[in-house]
Amino acid sequence: MNFKRFIPGTVAILSIVFMLLASSCQKDFLEKPFSVTFNEDSVFAKYENAQKLVFDMYALKPYYLDLSVQTVATRRLNGSLLESATDFGCSFRLNANYFTHKFNFGTVQAENLTNQVDGEDSYPDHYKTIRKAFTLIERIDEVPDAPANQKERIKAEAKTMIAFNYFELMKRYGGVPLLKKRLNPGTDDLNIARSPLSDVYAYIIQLLDEAIVVQEFAPRYDNNDFGRLNKAFAYGLKAKAALYVASPLFNTATPYLNFGGNNKLICMGSNDPNRWVTAAKYASDAITYCESNGYAIINTANKNINYTISYQYRPNEGNTEVMWGTMKVTNPNMAYWIPRGTPFTGGFSSNLASINLIEKYQNKDGSYVNWNSVITTPPNDPTFPYKNLDPRFDQSIMYNGQTLYTGVAIQYYEHETVALHGNNSPAKASTQWSHQVRKHVYGYENRTITGKTWQPMCAIMRLTELYMIQAEAQNEAAAAPDATVYGRINTIRNRSDMPNLPTGLSKDDMRKKIQDEWGIEFVFEEYRYFDLKRWKLGDVFKGPVYDVKVKKLNNNTYTYTKYKYEDRPFYDWYYLHPLPPSEVNLQYGLIQNPGW
Amino acid sequence: MKLKISIKLYLGLFLLLGSFNGFAQKNEGSNAANELKNTGVVKVAYDTVAKKNLTYSVSEVKGSALLNTSAFLPGNTLYGKLAGLTVIQRTGEPGNDQPTLFLRGRATTASNAPLIMVDGIERDLNDVQTEDIESITVLKDAASAIIYGIRGANGVIMVNTKRGTEGKLKFNGSVDQFFSTPTRKPEFYNAANFVQLYNQAMVNDGFAPQYSASQIAGYNQGNATLYPNVNWQDEVTKDYALGTRSNFNVAGGEKIAKYYVSLGYFHQGGIYSNTESNEGYSTNLALDNFSFRSNLDLNVSKYLSFGLDLSGRIYQKNSPSTSTATTWDLLNKYPSHIFPVYVQDGIYGGTAIYPNNPMGYINSKGFRQTNYRTILSTLYGKYNLSQFVKGLTFNTRFSADNVYSNQEGYTKNFAVREIIGTNANGAAVLSPGIGSNTNLATLTASGYPYNDTQAKRNTLEAGLAFKPELANNNSLNMQVIYHQDRLMLGNETPYNFQFLAGKFNYGIKGKYFAELGASYSGTEAFEEGNKFGFFPAVSAAWLISEETFMKGSSVFNFLKLRASAGIVGNSAIGERFSFFRQYIGDTGYNFGNANAAQAGLSSGTLPNSDFTWEKARKYDLGIDARLFNFLDVSLTAFLQKRKDILITRESLTPGIIGANVSTTNTGKTSNKGFEASLGFKKLNKNLGFRASFNISYVTDKVDYYPEPNYAYGYIYKTGNRISQPFMLEAIGFFNSPGDIQNSPTQSFGAVQPGDIKYKDQNADGKIDGYDEIALNNTTLPSWDLGLDFGFNYKNFDINASLQGQLGRSLYLGNEPLLFWPLQNDGGKISTYAKQFWTPQTAATADYPRLSAGPNNNNYRESTFWYVNGDFLRLRSLDIGYTLPSALVQKVKLSKAKFFVRGTNLFTLDHLKFTDPEVMSGYPVMKSYNVGLNLQF
C-alpha cells in the first residue's frame, strides 16, 4: 500500500463511520423534561392562580412574633423584640451575640441592622412586596374568570400594601427610592435615587386615597379572609403616616444631623404645626369610619381582660378593635419567650423587662410604686409590690410570685440559703433579670388551659392606636388639652380599670402622660423604639437601665432592690436606620443616612 | 513503498495489551513511584501510549506505591504522591475521611473537583479497593483531558485497575493488623485552674468574681461530687482503636482468557469508650467493608475480544445516632468543673444549660448504621478491523453502576441530674431529672439523609482507533469516540453527559510529535441550542535526545521538550437550568380565624439568559530528562485563564428591583505555577536506594469579579487570590487607658487594656469593617511537596513517604471552642492560651486578656488569629523482611514477607496544639501495623 493512497482512503472511511456514529447519537439525549411550567401569562389566565399571587403578596409582611424558626442565629433579632433595644427591655444576656445587644453596647453597624438573617429590617423585602403588588395592579384585570368586584378589591388591596411598605420604609430610613411601577431589569433604568421624604409621604397618602374611594374595598374582612388588608386599615394608615411627619423628628427644617443638600431626604424641610392638625383630622376621620362600620373599643365587664382581647383575640372571639392582624404560625415554639428554669423546659428568657418600664405602671389609684428604696414584703407575700398595679401590668409582665397557667409560681428570687434559690432566679437558671415579657405568652397560657391550638397574632393596627394618634395630635394642635384629648385617653384607661387622668394638665404634662400611655398600651408590640425616635427622645435610650434584685430571706420575706444594670449609648445617627451598605456601595443614587 | 502495518495496537480504551508492568511488582514498595521513568507506557484517556512520545502533562503513580499506609480509602494514599495533586485531609473519622482533591490548585469559585474516572467510567474513588489499583494517572493539561471537553477543566484522575496476564496462576495475599491513636488531642485547663481563670475573666469584664475563695479551695483540693474535674476527652475516648485489613487476589490466564479476581476485607474501630453498655447494640464507630473485583478478558476469535469487569462492595458503618461533629464539639465545650460524668450509678451529670453530657450523648442516644451497596459493571468489546484496513479497531463499551445507600437506626434521649448539695452523710443530693429518659425509637428522616437513596449510572460508548505502523519510524494515532452517560441520583433530574471527540497524533522519525484533539460535548444543564461546546487542543513534543547532535551525550540519556495549549470546560458550576424562569410555589401566608395557610405563587429567579459553562484556556510547557542514567527530571510550567465563572449578581443589582436576580457568567480568574519531579534509583539485590521527589507551586488570581464601587481600593476581590481572606491587622495589645485614648476608635465594643489593637488602614481614625485588608495565605497551600524514598539491604527494605504543604494559613477563629475561650460564657479554656495579658505580663503576653463576654473586639477575624499552616508529615514508614526464597520455596511459596508499618507518625508544623489539617472534630489518627504478605 502506498502511503499517499492510504491516507485519503482511511480518512474517507473514518469520516463515514464518524458520520454514522454522529447520526446515531441520541440527539435528544440531553433534553430536560420540564415538569409543570408556569409563566406569568398562565398565572393571570386563571383566578385561582392569580389569587395565589395575592396571598403571596403577604408573604413578607411584618410579623414580629415569628416563632417558627428554632435557631437563634437565623431569627430576626435572634428571637428578641425590638423593645430589647430600648429602655424597656433587654435580650438574653448570657448570649452576648444576640442582636439587640449591639444597640445597647453601641456597636451596631450598618451591616448588622439591615442584614436579612437576623437584622431588624430586610430592606429589599419591602421592594419585593411592592413588586408583587404592582404586578397585580397591572395584570389582575386580564384574569377572565375573576369577579369584577374582586378585581377592584385586589387593586385597592395592592395599593394599600404598597402604601404600607413605603410607610415602613419611611419610618426607618426617611426618603427612599420611590417606584411607581414594576421595574423591568432589561429596559428600565435601575439607578433610582432616594426621593424626598415629603414625596414618599405624599405618595402614601395618594395611594391610600385611591384605595379608599373603591366601593368594593370593604371596611373589614372576617372569617376566612381575616388578615387581608381592608379599607379601615387604609384610613388608619393615613393617620399614622400623618402622625409621623407631624412628629418632631421629621417635622423640621433642621434634621437630627445636618445632611446639607440632602436634608430633605430625612426631614420634611419645614416645621409646620398644621401637620398636627392634619394628623388629628385623619385620625378623627378614621375613627368615625371605623366606628360606623362595626369597630369598637373593647369594653367588657371584665376589665382585667379587655386589654388582652384587643391584641390577642380574633374578631370571631370578640375582638372588635383589630384593624389588621397578621398571623403565621400555629402552636409556635415558645423557647424565646418562656423563662429559664422549672417548670419551663427549654426557656431562653430572650425578652426581659426593665424597671424603667415597670415604673411607668401606675397603681389603680393613679399613684406610683416607689422602687428607689428597698421594698421588703410581709412574709410569704412575694407579689406585695405589684398588688395594686394597672391590670395591664399583670397581662404584660412576668414577675416574681406570679402564678402562670402551670399553677406554679414564678420564682425569680435568690435565697438567703444558697441551695434554696428560686427555680427561675439568675443564680440558678441564668435568667438575667427579674421581669420578663408575659404579653404574648399570655395567649399561650390561655390556649394551653383551654386545650386549643395557639395561633399568635400581631395586631398591626387596632382602634386604640387611632385614639392615641388623635389624642397626641390634638394635644399638639390645640393650645391646651381639650375634651377630645382627655376623652380618648380616658377611654383607653377606663376599660382597663384605670382612673381618668387628672384634669387641668398643661400641654407639656399631657404630652408626657400620652407618651407613657403609648408605652404601656403598646408595650412589646415594637412601638417604643420608633416612638422614642419620632419624639426625638434619643436620651431615653441611654437609660441608665435598671433591674431589681429579688431576695428571699430565711424569714420568708422578700426584698426588692433596684440596681443599675447598664448605661447605654445613643448617638444622633441612630435616629434613622442605615441603608444596607451593599446597596449603597452599588452607587445608584442611594445615599447613606448621615453618621452611618 | 510498502507499509508494514502491525496488528499490535494500542487500543483506546482497552487495556488488554497495555499492561507491561504487571502483577509481578505487586506490593513491593521498592518499585514504587515509577512515574518519572521515561520508558514504558502510560495510560491516558482512551489510550495507552509510550511515555517518551507523550505530548501531554500527566503524572502517574503505580498502585504498589499506595500500599504503605493503613488508609482505607484510596484518596488517603495519595498524599504527596503525584506532582500537581493537592490532597486535603478533612477529618479522621473512619469511612467519612475522603480527602478533598485539587489538581493544580484553585481556578474557580465553583467546584474545583477533578473528574474521577475508574477504568474509564466516572465513578467514586471510594469504590475502588487500593489493592486493586494498577496505576493512577492524573491528566493535568488541556491536551490530555480534551476528550472530556465540557468537563475537563478541573483535570482528570484516572484510576486503572489490575488485569490478568498470560502465565500461571499467581496468588497474592496479605493480612495486617493495626491500631490507631489520635495524632494530637487538644488540652484544657483543669477545674482548679479554670475557676481561677474564670474569676480573672469576670473581674476583667468588670463583674464580681464568680467563684468564692472556698470554692477555689474546694477545686484545688478536688472532690468528685462537689468539685469535680472531668477530662471529657479522656472519659469518652480510648487511647487507641483496632483495625484489620486483608486482601487476597489471584491472577493469571492463557491465550483465550485472562483474569484478575480480588477479595478484601477492612475493619476499623472507633475510639469511643463505654460503648458496649447497651444491650444488643454498640454505639462505637465501626467500619466494615467487603470489596470484590473480577476483571475478565476473553479473546473470542482472532478479531473479536470481550471483557467483563465486575466490582462491588458492602459497606457498613456503625456510629452513635448523633452527629460526629456535634459530639466532638461537646468534648471541647463541656465544662470540667460543674458536674461529674455520673452523679450516681447510671445517672448522668448535667444541668439545664449543659444537658448533653458527652458520655450520654455518645452512648445513650441510640445508634445509627450507614450502609452502602455498590455494584459496578462494565462490558466491552473490541473488533479488530485489520482485515479491512490495517490498524483499525472498533471499540465499544457499556457500563451499568448501581450505588445504594441508606441510614437506619434508633434514637433515644436521656435525662441528666445536677448535684445541688450534699446531705449530712456527704452523699450527693440530686436535682429532679433534666430532660427525660426515653425508649429507643426509629431514627427519623429529619436532619439526616435517612431515606434510602440510589444512584445509577449508565454509559454507552463506541469508537474507532486507527494506529497503523508506518515506515521510517513515523507514527499515526487517530481516534474517534462517541460517549453518553446518564446519572440518576435519587429523584433529581438526571445528569446527562454526551460527547463526540477525537484526536489525531502524528510522529515523525520518533523525534517530533504533534497532536490535535477536539471534543464536541455537552450536558443537560444548559439551554437548547447552547448545550454543546466545541473544545480544541494542540500539543507537541520534541525528543531532543533523538537528534544526532545529542546522540551519545554522557549527561542526557533522554531529553524532551513538550508544549500544549487548549480550551476545556467546567460544567459543575453549582446550578442547572438557570436560563429558565418559572412561577413557583411560594410561602404565601396564613389567613382567617383558623390561621389557615394559603399557598402562594411567585416569580422565580429572573433568568440568566447567557447561562453557560466555564471555559479554561490552558497552556503548558515542559521538559522531561534522564541524566547520568539514574536521575529522572521533569519540569512543567503552566498557565490557565478561566472565564465565564458563575457569579451571584444579587449583590450587584439594586434591591429595588424587588425580585431575585440570577447569577451571571462573568467571573474571570487566572492560575499558574510549576511542577518539578526528581527520581533517583540505584537498585541491586543486596543494597539499593531509590527516591522520588516532587514539588509543585500554584497560585491563582481573580482577574475579574463584578463588584460595586468601594471607597477603598484594597476592598476589591479582583486582583486577589480566589478565597483570599480579608481581615484586620492586629498590632499588639492596648497597654494602658492612655494607649486607648491615643489610638483610633475601635468600633467593635468597648476596649480596655489587654484587648487587641488594630491598624487603621484607611487612617480615618476609626477601626471598622473598612480596615479589613487582604492578608495571609489562603487555606489551600501554594506549595506541595512529596518525597518517597527507600533502601533495601539484603532481605530488609525500608520505605518512607513524606508530604508537605507550604504557603497555607490556618484561621483559628474557625474553632472558637478551642481558641476563643469563654466567648459567650463557654465552660472551658484550652491550654493554647498560655500567657494571657495582665498588667503584670503586658510585656510578654501572647494572648489578649481573658474575657467572659463575647468580646467582639478580640474575637474577630484578624491577623492575630491566623497561624502559618505549613506542615511536613511522615505519611508512612514501612520496614519489611522478606524470608529467603530458598526457605519459602520449600513450602511452595514464591515470596513471604513480614512488615511493620506506621502511618502519620510525626508532623512538623507551627500550630502544635492540634492537628494542622484537622483542628477539631474526630482526630487524625496515627497508626501502627504489623502484617504478612504471601505470594505463590
Looking at the fold, whether B113 and B202 belong to one and the same domain comes out as: no
For residue B213, what are the CA distances in angstroms to A293, A418, B217, B275, B421? Answer: 70, 16, 6, 39, 18
Choose among B595, B602, B659: nearest Cβ to A455: B595
Alpha helices in A412-545 (DSSP H): 426-429, 441-450, 463-477, 483-494, 507-521, 528-534, 538-541
At a CB cut-off of 8 Å and minimum separation 6, what does B231 contact? B188, B190, B336
- Grade residue B309 by pLDDT with cuts at 50, 70 and 90: very high
Q: Given the C-alpha cell 493480612, which residue does it identify?
A: B175
The CA distance from B231 to B219, in Å, is 14
Q: State yes or no: pLDDT of A4 exceeds 60.
A: no
Q: How far apart are CA A354 and CA A436, in angstroms?
A: 8
Q: Give the three-state DSSP class for A424.
A: coil
Cell matching residue B53: 512520545
Residue B673 has pLDDT above 60, yes or no: yes
- Express as a percent the part of chain A with pLDDT over 70: 88
**Residue B853 CA from chain centroid, whole number:** 37
Q: What is the rounded average pLDDT of the residues B226-238? A: 91
Same domain, B154 and B187: no
Domain ends where: B161, B189, B217? B161
Establish if B755 belongs to a structural domain: no
Query: Do B118 and B267 have their domain in common?
Result: no
How many other CB atoms are found less than 10 A from the CB of residue A403?
A: 10
pLDDT band with cut points at 50, 70 and 90 for residue B17: very low
A window 306-345, beta carbon within 8 A of B: 314-317, 326-330, 340-342, 345
Lowest mean pLDDT among A222-226, A244-248, B153-157, B484-488: A222-226
Residue B825, domain member (yes or no):
no
- Nearest chain A CA: its distance from B116 CA (Å): 21
Please tell me the least confidently modeled range out of A114-123, A261-270, A538-547, B774-783. A114-123
Give B595's contacts in chain A (Cβ within 8 Å).
327, 330, 455
Assess A419–B contact: CB distance below 8 Å, yes or no.
yes
- CB-based contact A567:A547 (threshold 8 Å): no
Residue A450's pLDDT is 64
Asked which of B419, B442, B465 is the last residue of a domain, the reply is B442
Which residues contact residue A452 at a Cβ distance below 8 angstroms, ignoring those fewer than 6 apart?
Answer: none
Cβ neighbours around A294 below 10 Å, total: 12
User: What would the mean pLDDT of A14-38 be, rounded to a whole number?
Assistant: 57
Check CB contact of B217 with chain A, cutoff 8 Å.
no
Residue B9 has pLDDT above 50, yes or no: no
A5 contact B CB<8A:
no
What is the average pLDDT score of chain B?
88
- What pLDDT is attached to residue B862? 95
Which residues numbered 741-780 in B keep a CB inside 8 Å of some CB on A?
747-750, 768-769
User: What nine digits make up the cell of A538?
Assistant: 434619643
pLDDT at B11 over 80: no
By mean pLDDT, which of A202-216, A451-465, B384-398, B791-805 is the weakest? A451-465
β-strand partners of B303: none
At residue B14, does pLDDT exceed 50? no
- Report the distance separating Cα B303 and Cα B381, nearest Å: 10
Contact B602 A225 (CB under 8 A): no
**What single-letter amino acid sits at A2?**
N
What's the CA gap between B557 and B544, in Å, rounded? 10
Which chain A residues touch B654 with a CB distance below 8 Å? 177, 190-192, 583, 586, 588, 590
The answer to whether the beta carbons of residues B614 and B636 sit under 8 Å apart is no
B584 and A CB contact within 8 Å: yes
Task: State the Cα–Cα distance between residues B859 and B864, nearest whole angstrom.
Answer: 9
Chain A CB contacts of B459 under 8 Å are none
Residue B20 pLDDT exceeds 50: no
Answer whether A388's CB lies under 8 Å from A365's CB: yes
pLDDT tier for residue B787 given thresholds of 50, 70 and 90: very high
Angle at the Cα of B510 (from B508 to B511), degrees rounded to 5? 80
Interchain contact A47–B (C-beta under 8 A): no
Q: How far from chain centre, in Å, is Cα B720? A: 24
Q: Are residues B200 and B348 in the same domain?
A: yes
Decide if B381 is inside a domain: yes
B884 vs A: CB within 8 A: no
pLDDT value of position B543: 94
- Pinpoint the alpha helices (H) of B522-651: none
Q: What is the mean pLDDT of residues A470-487?
A: 96
Q: Rounded distance, CA A544 to CA A533, Å?
A: 17
Q: Do A39 and B748 touch (CB under 8 A)?
A: no
The pLDDT of residue B153: 96
Cell numbers for B388, please give them. Answer: 479491512
Closest CA to A594 of A253, A577, B760: A577
Residue B513 inside a domain? The answer is no
Ramachandran assignment for A396, one of left (phi > 0), alpha (psi -120 to 50 degrees), beta (any other): alpha
The Cα–Cα gap between B545 and B553 comes to: 8
CATH of the domain at B65: 2.170.130.10
Nearest to B658 among A24, A55, A131 (CB): A131
d(CA A469, CA A517): 11
CA dihedral A528, A529, A535, A541 (to 10 degrees): 100
Contact between B153 and B570 under an 8 Å Cβ cutoff? The reply is yes
pLDDT of A3: 44
Range of the structural domain that residue B271 is part of: 175-442
Residues 6+ apart with CB under 8 A from B491: none
**Exposure of B657 by Cβ count < 10 A (0-12 exposed, 13-18 middle, 19+ buried)?**
buried
The band of B445, judged by pLDDT with boundaries at 50, 70 and 90, is: low
CB contact under 8 A, B595 and A330: yes
What integer pLDDT is reported at residue B399 of this predicted model? Answer: 94
| pLDDT over threshold 50, residue A280 | yes
Q: Which three cell numbers mark A141?
A: 384585570
| pLDDT at residue B576 is higher than 50 | yes
Residues A155, A551: contact at Cβ < 8 Å? no
Q: Are B344 and B421 within one domain?
A: yes
Task: Say whether both B255 and B383 belong to one domain.
Answer: yes
In percent, how much of chain A has pLDDT > 90? Answer: 61
What average pLDDT score do residues A522-546 get? 94
Position B38 pLDDT exceeds 90: no
Q: Is B557 left (phi over 0), alpha (psi -120 to 50) or beta?
A: alpha
Q: How far apart are CA B89 and CA B496, in angstroms?
A: 30
Does the beta-carbon distance from A97 to B590 stay under 8 Å? Answer: no
pLDDT at residue B19 above 60?
A: no
B187 and B331 in a single domain? The answer is yes
In 3D, which of B407, B508, B395 has the Cα closest to residue B449?
A: B407
Distances (CA, A) of A314 to A311, A323, A525: 8, 11, 17
Q: What is the pLDDT of residue A32?
A: 56
- Give the H or E element holding residue B200: helix B191-204
Q: Does residue A323 carry a pLDDT above 70?
A: yes
> Are residues B229 and B323 both part of a single domain?
yes
Q: How confident is the model at residue B10 (pLDDT cuts 50, 70, 90)?
A: very low
Cβ-nearest to B656 among A40, A55, A192: A192
User: Which pLDDT does position B25 carry in this prediction?
Assistant: 33
CA distance A382 to B540: 92
Q: Which residue has the cell 513534543?
A: B541
Residue at a domain's end among B402, B422, B442: B442
Residue A495, pLDDT score = 95
Q: Is B936 within a domain?
A: no
Q: What ipTM describes this predicted complex? A: 0.76
In DSSP terms, A238 is beta-bridged to none
Tell me how crowded residue B812 is: count the other CB atoms within 10 A of its CB: 19
Choose the closest CB to A32 out of B484, B577, B710.
Answer: B577
Give CA separation, B22 vs B19, B27, B161, B162, B450, in Å: 6, 11, 11, 8, 43
pLDDT at B32: 39
Residue A294: pLDDT above 50?
Answer: yes
Residues 99-138 of chain A whose Cβ lies under 8 A from any Cβ of chain B: 105-107, 109, 111, 123-124, 127-132, 135
Please give the average per-residue pLDDT across B769-797, as a whole number.
92
Has residue B754 been placed in a domain?
A: no
For residues B122 and B237, membership in a common domain is answered with: no
Least confident interval from A422-431, B339-348, B408-417, B877-886 = A422-431
Please indicate, yes or no, whether residues B254 and B146 belong to a single structural domain of this protein.
Answer: no
Residue of A nearest to B711 (CA): A585
Mean per-residue pLDDT, B494-503: 93
> How far apart, in Å, are the Cα atoms of B640 and each of A215, A304, B19, B617?
67, 75, 33, 6
Alpha helices in A58-122 (DSSP H): 101-105, 110-113
To the nearest 10°, report the CA torsion of B853, B858, B859, B865: -150
Say how far apart CA B924 and CA B609 lie, in whole Å: 46
Verify that B190 and B308 share a domain, yes or no: yes
CB contact under 8 A, A30 and B496: yes
Total domains, chain B: 2
Place B26 in a pLDDT band, splitting at 50, 70 and 90: very low
A322-327: strand order across its sheet: A457-462, A322-327, B583-591, B596-603
Residue B491 touches partner A, C-beta closer than 8 Å:
no
pLDDT in tens, B520-564: 999 998 888 889 999 999 999 999 999 988 888 888 889 999 999
- What value does the mean pLDDT take over residues A303-321? 90
All cell numbers assigned to B552: 551519545
- The alpha carbon torsion through B163, B165, B169, B175 (nearest 10 deg) reads -40
Cβ contact, residue pair A183, B747, below 8 Å: no
Q: What is the pLDDT of residues A160-201, one digit of tens each?
A: 999 999 999 999 999 999 999 988 776 788 889 999 999 999
Give dist(CA A229, CA A206) in Å, integer. Answer: 17
CB-based contact A38 B584, cutoff 8 Å: yes
Q: Find where cell 402622660 sits.
A: A513
Alpha-carbon distance values, B368 to A231, B90, B237, B277, B318 (Å): 57, 22, 18, 16, 6
Question: Could you tell me if B204 and B80 lie in one domain?
Answer: no
Tell me the sheet residues that pair with B384.
B393
Does any CB of chain A come closer than 8 Å to the CB of residue B598? yes
| B498/A94 touch (CB, cutoff 8 Å), yes or no | no
Residue B627 in any domain: the answer is: no
Which percentage of chain B shows pLDDT scores above 70? Answer: 95
Of A21, A37, A129, which has the smallest distance from its Cβ to B480's Cβ? A21
Assign B5 a pLDDT band (cuts: 50, 70, 90): very low
pLDDT tier for residue A106 given thresholds of 50, 70 and 90: confident
Using CA coordinates, name the residue in chain B closest to A340: B352
Judge whether residue B850 has pLDDT over 50.
yes
Return the percentage of chain B with pLDDT > 90, whole number: 60
Q: Distance (Å, rounded) from C-alpha B916 to C-alpha B866? A: 12
Looking at residue B686, what is its pLDDT? 80
pLDDT of residue B699: 96
Hey, what's the cell of A522?
403598646
Q: Answer yes or no: is pLDDT of B22 > 60.
A: no
Provide the b/e sequence for B260-299 (b: ≥16 CB within 10 Å): bbbbbbbbbbbbbbbbeebeeebbbbbbbbebbbebbbbb
The answer to whether B528 faces chain A, any CB pair under 8 Å, is yes
Does residue B487 form part of some domain?
A: no
CA distance, residue B629 to nearest chain A CA (Å): 38
Cα dist. B469→B386, B507, B517 in Å?
A: 12, 11, 20
E-strand ranges in B92-188 read 100-103, 115-118, 121-122, 133-139, 156-161, 167-182
